[in-house]
Amino acid sequence: MDLQITNYNNRFQIKGTLNKLNLKTFDSYFANIFDKLDDILLDIESIDSIDRDGVMALAKLHNESIIKSKRLSIIGFGCKELYDHFKTEEPEVSTASIPNIVAA
């Protein structure tokens, strides 16, 4: 399935495949989006598949939202590759920086 993007009230639903072959469509649709809107919501529920280039396109959009202090929300049970890319883990605490406390 080709890429389809629909919009209603700053909610963008992405359907089909997001890959290198249709990246121009995605990029042109969201070019300068944060110059027009302060808050957008991407619904990825209907993405059938996404490749590395598609994930990077979403990451680029995410970075643009941070740089321009805008809000980007990505919702939907979409592709595992996307969640893996944005997954964050708790940083490990180094025990070297914690002072030793000895009970008397």
Question: Can you give the pLDDT at residue 1?
Answer: 65
Question: Can you give the pLDDT at residue 65?
Answer: 94
pLDDT tens across the length of the chain (104 residues): 689 999 999 999 999 999 999 999 999 999 999 999 999 999 998 998 888 899 899 999 999 999 999 999 988 875 666 666 666 545 454 445 444 444 44
Distance CA 94, CA 77 (A): 35
Q: Is 18 exposed, middle or buried (0-12, 13-18, 19+ CB in 10 A)?
A: buried
* Domain that includes residue 76, residue range: 4-97
Question: Can you give the pLDDT at residue 86?
Answer: 61
Distance CA 21, CA 36 (A): 26
Residue 75 sits in a domain whose CATH number is 3.30.750.24
Q: For residue 104, is it within any domain?
A: no
Helix (H) or strand (E) holding 5: strand 4-8
Angle, CA 74 vertex, CA 70 and CA 78 arms, to 5°: 165
Task: Give the number of domains in the chain.
Answer: 1
Question: Can you give the pLDDT at residue 31?
Answer: 93
Distance CA 59, CA 66 (A): 11
Question: Can you give the pLDDT at residue 33?
Answer: 94
Helix (H) or strand (E) holding 79: none
